[in-house]
Chain A
């Protein structure tokens, strides 16, 4: 099967001469859940933004395959670390945004938005404003918006890093449900080993700046995953393997 995402020897040097990424090569298959793990400043966010088309590589290239997605909409959605909601708009209006920008009126989008809100567990919060919501709820709105445009690729940049553990765990489970239900491909940037192991099929470990891939590990646990996995022996083992790879990567770059 042809790769859905092919990153070939990609590098990024910024205008101020910082080399954020160097010689990154990576392929992602359609429907995979891949975590990108690395220390702070290793360029993983830059990598994600490059896949989104928000940054241009200075070396090498990124190819995205044509995959089935909502026609007339962008193929990719991005979820930031902050919910990045429009504070002056209601929850409904925030989720409606991608559809609205594509020309769908409020009436046309209503059913879809409501379905999305139900899907993320925010039924009935249409008219609420972001400042009235908790951190976890805002992040759900953000994800609902990301799903509204019907993308095939979901890019997430440490979306749960600012949330408390209980909320984070719950969102982890929900995210896996949404990913599976829609057959999405997911690229998930995180600095948490535990999160990476719990969520992904494959973990790409990056070194410190300039970031390059130092290891790729596979998590063999089948989906759906549950709390049982989190408290199991194999989970702990996997986490320690990944941690070692991460530490090795840090030392390598030196």
Chain B
């Protein structure tokens, strides 16, 4: 029963383990170094809090911070979902009609390059619900990479395969489903990876400019609040949660990419995996 055999080697095994252990070690060393620096140089907590202080503050305030964290996560993933769905839909539309693409693409570019900090207050004027406004802002930031990448991906199908599908008299739907979509998948995933981080940034930045204190608030409001109340360790604690979320999103999409592309696409099957 032959599959082309891949030789396991001692090198591969320890390389896999090292990939996890090494970054963790470096990270822990950095945190310890930070703690040492603060203690030795006696840096005041309102300039640079020590990691130990940040963690204690996080623990003490976890109840309220967790609420805000959940809100930010909801906005982030909501925006991401919107970006993915609309990005793919629009990319498919572009693939089917070059005229539509030419007409609408400039708008997409404008959306991409206009700073969200400038747009957010405007959107808040036009949209009543703060949550909806935040969602829209986060979506604007995350949308373009998905659209752009997927559009390119849909165009990247092997021309010989395209001819083959023509010869086998494939319907338009069959072509999209069996050829164009799988060809576009690696590009879409790459766009999604970028959009993942961006939707978090969008959610946070949008809330900085357009959020309101109150019940529906995310981590950005907590960061601002802590900043205005001069509670610097709490500010760092909230920032820590934001970073953690960003890392989690990054890892999540890496995993997704591995699952979907790991068996066949060069981006995920490279040497040493």
Residue ranges of A at the interface with B (Cβ–Cβ < 8 Å) = 49, 52-54, 74, 76-78, 80, 82, 84, 86-89, 97-98, 100-102, 124-125, 128-134, 149
Contact = CB atoms under 8 A, between A and B. Distances in A.
A124 B3 CA distance: 9
A129 B158 contact: no
Nearest to A77: B167
B161 interface: yes
B86 to A, nearest CB: 24
A76 B164 CA distance: 11
Contacts of A125: 2-3
Given A52-B167, A86-B179, A149-B168, A124 B2 contact: yes
A149 B163 CA distance: 15
A74 B164 CA distance: 11
- Residue of B4, B164, B166 with most chain A CB atoms under a 10 A cut-off: B164
Interface in B15-30: none
The contact size tier of chain B is: 20 to 34
Contacts of A131: 264, 269
A93 to B, nearest CB: 9
Nearest to B6: A132
Nearest to A145: B164
A129 B178 contact: no
Contacts of A100: 178
Report the 4 A-B pairs with minimum CB-CB distance, sorted nearest first.
A84-B160, A88-B182, A101-B168, A132-B4
A162 to B, nearest CB: 13
B170 interface: yes
Contacts of A128: 3-4
Contacts of B1: 124
Nearest to A83: B160
Contacts of A132: 3-4
Contacts of A130: 264
Contacts of A86: 161, 178-179, 182
7 contacts: A54-B166, A77-B167, A78-B164, A80-B160, A86-B179, A86-B182, A125-B2
B165 to A, nearest CB: 7
A87 B168 contact: no
B130 to A, nearest CB: 42
B263 interface: yes
Given A88-B182, A124-B1, A54 B167 contact: yes
Contact of B163 (A54, A102, A129, A134): A54
Given A53-B167, A88-B264, 20 more contacts: A52-B163, A74-B167, A74-B168, A77-B167, A78-B163, A82-B160, A84-B158, A86-B161, A86-B179, A87-B265, A88-B182, A88-B185, A89-B182, A101-B165, A101-B170, A101-B174, A124-B1, A124-B2, A128-B3, A130-B264
A87 B264 CA distance: 6
Contact of A84 (B161, B178, B263): B161
A84 B164 contact: yes
Nearest to B185: A88
